């Protein structure tokens, strides 16, 4: 199966949410439950974008179709660029593409060892049994994530919420952070484009890069065939909506909108609740309107 033309109805005010997670990665709801929640929040064009995984797509697509939402096949690939972790969303991919699938297996493969190393580091600072604790929150044995550790650390009262856990224990430079090599940028963009999809820089405002490094990154992404950046995302402030709208237009990128929803009551906004993209942007879904 190849990537689909979506045939979205023209002239309709669309509520588009093209970034969220299920239990197949580090969300807490099953794919069909995320679909139901998106629908209940008024979303009519929806993508599930699990980290480094396509295992939730069949159930998500079926649930979305039953509810009458337009479904966009998606994922979010973890990349290491200049020693920083960057996330690249792929949209309207063929999720059965063999090169993409092999690339995702490779990208996921280091997570197990990394999790054991994280647990050893946390044990050294006096927080034992975190690997077993995190496992209680894992929905997919191939995808143990920092989010699962964060939920366990909240459960045992180390911090009040997952944001605080990241701040004190799991962010780069903190005692439970284990450096990791993910896919390269050429690999991730290549897998997405090779699977017929559109590559989108996820939440660019989250990356700790100098203006010079950002410029090099956006140019490299574009030269590799990257086409879009997230402008309106749960990870951006209102000022960053403006900042990345300007950047989208400066580099000729299309713009995307997505909540990055993981769980009710965790730090990000709910599905479909963010402001619309400003009118001077080209939405990434523009070319899918019939």
**Binding positions for ligand AMP, rule: CB under 6 A:** 26, 51, 78, 145-147, 162-163, 166, 262, 267
Question: DSSP assignment of 9-31, as one string?
Answer: PTTS---EE--B--TTTT-SS-H
Percent of the chain as helix, strand, coil, to the nearest 5: 40, 15, 45
Min CB(205)–ligand AMP separation in Å:
12
Provide the minimum distance between the beta carbon of 231 and Mn ion in the complex, in angstroms, as a whole number: 15
Tokens of 136: 């209680």
For ligand AMP, give the closer residue by CB, 38 or 69: 38
Residue whose CB is less far from ligand AMP, 78 or 259: 78
How near is the Cβ of 123 to ligand AMP at its closest, in Å?
18
Cβ proximity to ligand AMP: between 45 and 162 the closer is 162
Which CB atom, from 166 or from 244, has the smaller least distance to ligand AMP?
166
- For tokens 């580099």, the residue is 251
Q: Which does 78 bind (CB under 5 to 8 A by kind): Mn ion, ligand AMP, none?
A: ligand AMP
Name the minimum Å distance from CB 195 to ligand AMP. Answer: 21
Cβ at position 129, least distance to ligand AMP in Å: 19
User: What value does the CA radius of gyration of the chain take, rounded to a whole number of Å?
Assistant: 18
- Supply 46's token pair: 């929806």
108 binds, among ligand AMP, Mn ion, none (CB under 5 to 8 A by kind): none
Q: Which is nearer to Mn ion, 26 or 270 (CB)?
A: 26
Which class for 170: exposed (0-12), middle (13-18), buried (19 or more C-beta within 10 A)?
A: buried
Task: Characterise 47 by phi-psi region: left (phi > 0), alpha (psi -120 to 50), beta (else).
Answer: beta
Contacts of 39 (CB under 8 A, 6+ apart): 46, 64, 67, 68, 69
Q: Which does 202 bind (CB under 5 to 8 A by kind): ligand AMP, Mn ion, none?
A: Mn ion
Return the one option of ligand AMP, Mn ion, none that residue 146 interacts with (CB less than 5 to 8 A, by type): ligand AMP
Contacting positions for Mn ion (CB under 5 A): 26, 76, 87, 202, 260
């Amino acid at each position: 199966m190849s990537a689909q033309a979506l045939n979205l109805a023209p002239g309709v005010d669309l509520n588009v949410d093209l970034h969220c997670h299920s239990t197949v990665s580090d969300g807490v709801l099953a794919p069909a439950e995320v679909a139901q929640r998106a629908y209940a929040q008024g979303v009519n064009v929806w993508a599930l974008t699990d980290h480094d995984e396509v295992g939730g797509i069949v159930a998500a697509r079926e649930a979305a179709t039953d509810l009458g939402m337009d479904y966009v096949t998606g994922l979010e690939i973890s990349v290491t660029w200049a020693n920083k972790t960057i996330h690249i969303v792929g949209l309207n991919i063929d999720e059965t593409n063999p090169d993409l699938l092999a690339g995702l297996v490779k990208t996921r493969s280091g997570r197990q060892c990394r999790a054991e190393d994280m647990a050893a580091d946390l044990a050294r600072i006096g927080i034992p049994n975190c690997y077993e604790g995190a496992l209680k929150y894992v929905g997919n044995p191939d995808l143990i994530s920092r989010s699962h550790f964060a939920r366990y650390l909240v459960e045992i009262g180390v911090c009040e919420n997952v944001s605080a856990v990241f701040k004190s224990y799991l962010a780069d430079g903190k005692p439970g952070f284990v450096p990791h090599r993910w896919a390269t940028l050429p690999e991730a963009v290549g897998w997405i484009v090779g699977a017929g999809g559109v590559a989108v820089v996820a939440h660019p405002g989250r990356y700790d890069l100098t203006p010079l490094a950002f410029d090099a990154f956006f140019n490299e992404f574009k030269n590799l065939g990257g086409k879009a950046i997230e402008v309106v995302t749960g990870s951006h402030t209102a000022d960053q909506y403006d900042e990345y709208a300007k950047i989208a237009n400066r580099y000729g990128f299309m713009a995307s909108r997505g909540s990055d929803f993981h769980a009710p009551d965790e730090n990000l906004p709910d599905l479909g609740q963010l402001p619309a993209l400003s009118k001077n942007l080209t939405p990434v879904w523009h070319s899918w309107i019939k």
